[in-house]
Structure 1
């Protein structure tokens, strides 16, 4: 018999089951290759989206896209220290020092595509926004960012790295503008490439106030929300109402899509 200390009800009394959201991992190397995702992406999904989180390995040869698409109610494509490989969108080679993660590219694009076609919501943060743009046929470029959108080192102080901020303008009537009640807000900026050509069928949710770089996109191609932001709302969700609103949108979209199925 299982010890009584470890027996837990699958659904606590008085609470409904939470929707299940997949969070895509990245390939990192310690002594050996490992799957990794920062804890800061998980906590807001539990607290503010009220979702149950399942980590999705970014291992191309072992990813069962069909099974994952059936299992998950939604998907979050996280930020990463790596960039989408230029081969995915016909772009120029990345500048020296910028890393790629081909397995992450393959799993992200295939799984996000499968989820969207199944009428399930997909969300993106930073690299995730760029993956969504590529999935819809758009392109990326490091030239769109230059030195304006990334300051510091991935191996340095993360407080300094994520402390680099700028203003974005939110489109009237967009999901972000309606959820935050704002038309302009300040966000962090931690990315080495950005959207060059917007993907087909994507609508612009936000642009950088200083240089016009596309900072957020949305779509509903198959009945469920697709939403990506270039900044990192997971970094300060405990301190920022606007960042919490992003995760609130995730929870709302998960439940709306689940109710429609």
Structure 2
């Protein structure tokens, strides 16, 4: 039986600071394949190579991943500053219209970290360039040193709306997550529902109100040990079920043999 296909939105990357490449973390593919039960397909996020219509035809769902480059602030009406960091305008040009099209059509997607921020911007929201510079906010950035285990360690709680979408999915109103981001939601976009927050009030879990499909997105990185983490696993499982349902809905009817 053919698995549904999840397009993983990649990032522009330089190998040895010289050779251009499209990159995606292997843990994203592992989570999609092992927990969501879908076939991961890395997407070169550049409008020179792909279009929204082609992607939606080729894939059953999408994973909008994290990445070092940030969404360019011009996408939400602000000027770029040094605090905004590096950018990937090609990914902006693919991801933002793709998110809006998926919301409209009901095609499932899962947003992670930068992907979470992309969803907010795509729906008309804005971002803070640096959360740790805000009064009363904690440092949500990845520790600069240490092993991967130390960098992806669980570091703060996320509180969900009691009885809300995430609380029902997780079976709990509060969970423990990792945190590896610098930017965060400033103003939620139209129809963006903040369903989970960190202890300092930073939005951590969102979905799109009234969307016909799966639109859950999180600010943390659930792809880390997704198969065993009690918070990550139900998220990727639910995403996989939504993608499978979409694939089944649009699958052509089998040809009946005429005796």
Q: TM-score range by the shorter chain?
A: 0.7 to 0.9
- Secondary structure, counterpart of 2:140 in structure 1: coil
Q: Does 1:257 pair with 2:246?
A: yes
- Secondary structure, counterpart of 1:60 in structure 2: coil
Q: Does 1:25 pair with 2:14?
A: no
Aligned to 2:192: 202
Report if the CA contact (8 A) 2:70-2:84 is conserved: no
Aligned to 1:68: 55
Distance 1:251 1:214, change over 3 A: same
2:222 to 233, 237, 251: 233
Aligned ranges 1:83-102 → 2 under 5 Å: 83-96=70-83, 98-102=85-89
- Secondary structure, counterpart of 1:241 in structure 2: coil
- Secondary structure, counterpart of 2:36 in structure 1: coil
In 1, Cα distance between equivalents of 2:146 and 2:51: 36
Distance 1:21 1:151, change over 3 A: closer
Report if the CA contact (8 A) 1:18-1:51 is conserved: yes
In 2, Cα distance between equivalents of 1:168 and 1:126: 14
Shift of 1:99: 1.3
In 2, Cα distance between equivalents of 1:233 and 1:99: 23
In 2, Cα distance between equivalents of 1:175 and 1:51: 23
In 1, Cα distance between equivalents of 2:83 and 2:103: 34
In 2, Cα distance between equivalents of 1:260 and 1:171: 31
Give the TM-score normalised by the residue count of structure 1.
0.86
Aligned to 2:143: 152
Distance 1:194 1:118, change over 3 A: same
Distance 1:42 1:135, change over 3 A: same
Worse overlay, 23-32 or 125-134: 23-32
RMSD, aligned α-carbons: 2.0
Report if the CA contact (8 A) 1:116-1:221 is conserved: no
Shift of 1:71: 1.5
Give the TM-score normalised by the residue count of structure 2.
0.87
In 1, Cα distance between equivalents of 2:81 and 2:110: 25
Report if the CA contact (8 A) 2:127-2:185 is conserved: yes
In 2, Cα distance between equivalents of 1:164 and 1:181: 18
Distance 1:43 1:158, change over 3 A: same
